[in-house]
Amino acid sequence: MKIAKIMTATAIVLSLAGCKKSGKVELETVSPQTGDLTETVTATGTVEAVTSVDVGTQVTGIIDKLYADYNSIVKKGELIAEIEKTVLESDLRSAEASVESAKWTYNYTKTNFERDKALHAKQLISDYEYQTSQKDYEVAKAAYDKATADRVRAAKNLNYAEIYSPIDGIVISREVEVGQTVVSSMNVANLYTIADLDNMQVVGNVDEADIGQVKVGQRVTFSVDAYPDDIFEGSVTQVRLSPTTESNVVTYEVIVAAANPEHKLIPGLTANLTIYVMEETGVMTLPSSAFTFQPEDYPDAKNLPKAGEAIDKQTLAQDERTVWVVEDGKLVNKKVKIGAANGIKIQILGGLSENAQVATGYSENATTQDKSKEQSSPFAPHPPKRK
């Protein structure tokens, strides 16, 4: 029994010894690619109308007629509501009657004053009589002016009973019903909210770590949950400097203007913003790994190009870096001029051709060779032998 176990263990060792590993180290290279180089900042925000007006009334009264409802499309100057005019018309008639009365009184006192003035000049009446006549004239004149102003106000209030749309837009809110009494006080009583949906804006909240890269005029794309397959475009129009702190997270508001010809965007939608803080098109780039590559020595690898002398980095300008390029079977350290970068790719402004083979790293491909056929466990059952 012990001899059988020793023979089984020996078979396993021999089986493993038949497995031979061989490794091959290869140099990975890339050529400069021409394309677009972008860097983005993400944020969330809320869709709002650029122009939204609360339409109210400046007079007290009962809502008589409503000509617009939710989602009604209205034009500037269009009649959208009326307040019951009976009381306002009565106020206007009363004001007009007061004007007529004050006018007669004014004309009468004016005639008396002019007569008394002439008599006083000839010393035919006393100073007291003249001054009394003058006083009556001045009081009548003031009363006439006041009655005229009251008539203007009454006429204006009657006009206020007809409410017109101040802008072209869509009614997004209606606050009153027919028959409801609206009271004008220090605050205007709101009847409608009308928004211009042709031009919308997104108020985005950008993290304090990214706000320094956001500038006016940058392109923005965003999506909303209501239309997950649509991508909307806009541009940054304002970066507000007032911070908002919530749960120790500081954000800044960024205003993004967006056209809305199809009226898909409506106030209140949540938008997921992508702000393109850097965009370069048609530029030559290399991956960032090309600038961190350092040659290594593999004594057993005979296929690798040998590295030459490295350039002293202290001699490089601020916009210069070095890369290792394969030339004539050797690794040559070359100086290149760089531009914009996004953490993944770096723009190449000069020092390399489009066909250059730039080293980025090493790869080791390990292969397992088995001189015998597929290995199997000695403890696994075998199919029955056939004659």
**Encoded tokens for 238:** 């304002």
Q: What Cα–Cα distance (Å) separates residue 30 from each residue in 39, 352, 355?
A: 22, 12, 9
Closest CA to 250 of 196, 298, 205: 205
pTM over 0.85: no
Contact between residue 361 and residue 289 where contact means Cβ atoms under 8 Å apart = yes
The identity of residue 324, as a single letter, is W
Neighbours of 67 (CB within 10 A): 13
Contact between residue 176 and residue 66 where contact means Cβ atoms under 8 Å apart = yes
Instruction: List phi, psi (to 5°) of 100.
Output: -65, -45
Q: What CA–CA distance (Å, rounded) separates 172 from 167?
A: 13
Sign of the alpha-carbon torsion through 305, 309, 313, 319: negative
Q: Look at strands 345-350 and 320-327 and give their pairing.
A: unpaired
Q: Look at strands 79-83 and 162-164 and give their pairing.
A: antiparallel
Taking only the tens of pLDDT, the chain with its 387 residues reads: 443 443 333 333 333 333 434 457 888 999 999 998 999 999 999 999 999 999 988 888 899 999 999 999 999 999 999 999 999 999 999 999 999 999 999 999 999 999 988 998 888 889 999 899 999 999 999 999 999 999 999 999 999 999 999 999 999 999 889 999 888 765 667 899 999 999 999 999 999 999 999 999 999 999 999 999 999 999 999 999 999 999 999 999 999 999 999 999 999 999 999 999 998 889 999 999 999 999 988 877 777 888 888 888 888 888 999 999 999 888 999 999 999 988 899 999 999 988 999 999 988 764 444 444 444 455 555 555 544
Angle at 32 between CA 29 and CA 34, to 5 degrees: 145
Dihedral over alpha carbons 12, 15, 16, 18 (to 10 degrees): 160
Angle at 263 between CA 262 and CA 267, to 5 degrees: 155
Q: What Cα–Cα distance (Å) separates residue 95 from each residue in 91, 141, 143, 252, 363?
A: 6, 16, 12, 55, 97
| Cα 278–chain centre separation | 16
Q: What CA–CA distance (Å, rounded) separates 267 from 76?
A: 20
Contact between residue 335 and residue 351 where contact means Cβ atoms under 8 Å apart = yes
Q: What Cα–Cα distance (Å) separates residue 148 from each residue in 60, 142, 153?
A: 22, 10, 9
Contact between residue 108 and residue 140 where contact means Cβ atoms under 8 Å apart = yes
Q: What CA–CA distance (Å, rounded) separates 159 from 365?
A: 88
Neighbours of 121 (CB within 10 A): 10
